[in-house]
Amino acid sequence: MAEHYDAIVIGCGPGGSFFAKTAAKKGMNVAVLDKKKDLGSPVRCGEGIATQWDASYGLPLNAKSIAMRIDAALAIAPNGKSFRMAGAGAVVERKIFDKFLAIDAARAGAHILPKTLVTDLVRENGKIAGVKAKRFGEEVEFRAPLVVSAEGMENTIARKAGMKVQHTLYDTDVCYEYEMANVPCEPVIELYFGNRISSRGYAWIFPKAKDVANVGIGVGGETGADPKALLDAFIRERPERFKKAEVIEVKGGDISVGASSERLVGDNFMVIGTAAHMVDPIHGGGMGLAIIAGKIAAEVVAEAHERKDYSRDALVRYEKEWHAGEGAAMLKRLKLRKAMEGLSDDDLNFIFENMDGNDAAKLMDGDFKSVVAKLLLKRPSLLKVVKSLM
């Protein structure tokens, strides 16, 4: 017997849960299927999230899900000089945050089905009509006129649906991370840049308590560098900070740092979140973007549902809104990431010494010209690296 829904979501991460909550609130009968038996675990995340945009989303950012509130990020050059970027944020416990997001979706009326691995699509008369899954060891079919891929990096079902969401090594960072106790911390996210630290990417210290932190590193997938070896070196080279540190959890994973996928919608099918490469190309943050995509997609779907039309034409407004907003902002940051890849450690030291948080905010917003012009006045030789930003 197949179970019938208005929409089936594959993946109960932030994107899938937020889509399900929004669609269920609009009266849709939604099921979220996740292969994990324990949602949110294992953690593949630094767990940092900006919170200034949260007010209109109502995320479960509360005393239980937040490990530590953050009021700034510190960008640190290879020579140790740094500048501060103010901004409200938090380091969450993903194991709790993801579960709360799923509870919010369930409270809105969505059905949450953990331990359910989606293995394939069901097609009827050539159209996507549901999914095949393995649930508690049994083969089950779930039927719906709409299937939403919120599968994260492992976007196998989206690829089976014909979406072009393959990851390339060049636009993927390979990460390794320890959660460590006995690491002294301020309520500040620390980002360490430099070619010796990491071939592309950066190392991070994200505090979860005054003496607990996620300490991780990302390296460009194409470089073939070993992120664990680089992370161990990063820690070894800071004996004062890490002399009493103890690893209490080992985490890691790959993350997309390119542009979001061009096509996000097909007939009876959508892709949201990291499955569609919606991850910030500079810092690799993808929770917020997955939630934003889930919200936009669900609002478009609710209108299509009223007309019982799940064709690409009925759903394409989601794709257009994404690319006009967050997708376009991601493209600017990708340009910045590519320019940064050409910088030597000496260039990075110079740039960080001649920049402040306001300049960094401008760069992150894609407003490159005034900052680049200021830097070029002092060091014209940078032109060959940063001309793509002019």
Ligand X SMILES: Cc1cc2nc3c(=O)[nH]c(=O)nc-3n(C[C@H](O)[C@H](O)[C@H](O)COP(=O)(O)OP(=O)(O)OC[C@H]3O[C@@H](n4cnc5c(N)ncnc54)[C@H](O)[C@@H]3O)c2cc1C
Q: Check residue 118 for interaction with ligand X (CB under 6 A).
A: yes
What is the distance between the alpha carbons of residues 366 and 360, in angstroms, rounded to a whole number?
Answer: 10
203 phi, psi to nearest 5 deg: -105, 150
What is the distance between the alpha carbons of residues 19 and 34, in angstroms, rounded to a whole number?
Answer: 14
Segment contacting ligand X (CB under 6 A): 57-65, 154-162, 314-322, 362-370? 154-162
Find the residue with minimal CB distance to ligand X.
286
Nearer to ligand X, 5 or 368 (CB): 5
**Residues 304-343, mask of contacts with ligand X (x by CB under 6 A):** ----------------------------------------
Token duo for residue 117: 């691995």
Nearer to ligand X, 16 or 60 (CB): 16
Give me the least distance between CB of 135 and ligand X, in Å please: 10
Applying CB under 6 A, which of residues 2, 3, 4, 44 lies at the interface with ligand X? 44
163 burial type by CB count under 10 A (0-12 exposed, 13-18 middle, 19+ buried): buried
Q: Check residue 207 for interaction with ligand X (CB under 6 A).
A: no
Token duo for residue 229: 């070896």
Nearer to ligand X, 20 or 386 (CB): 20
Nearer to ligand X, 198 or 274 (CB): 274
- Counting other chains too, the contacts that 105-110 makes at CB distance below 8 Å and 24 or more residues apart are 105/12, 105/17, 105/18, 105/20, 105/21, 105/24, 105/30, 105/32, 108/20, 108/21, 108/22, 108/24, 108/25, 109/24, 109/25, 109/29, 109/30, 110/20, 110/21, 110/23, 110/24, 110/30, 110/31, 110/32
Residues 253-312 that bind ligand X (CB under 6 A): 253, 255, 273-275, 279, 284-288, 290
Segment contacting ligand X (CB under 6 A): 14-22, 81-89, 257-265, 372-380? 14-22
Number of residues forming the site for ligand X (CB under 6 A):
41
Q: Check residue 252 for interaction with ligand X (CB under 6 A).
A: yes
Q: Check residue 93 for interaction with ligand X (CB under 6 A).
A: no
Give how far Cα 272 sits from Cα of 20, 164, 205, 226, Å. Answer: 12, 13, 28, 30
User: Where do contacts with ligand X occur on this chain (CB under 6 A)?
Assistant: 10-16, 33-36, 44-49, 117-118, 150-152, 154, 156-157, 175, 177, 216, 252-253, 255, 273-275, 279, 284-288, 290
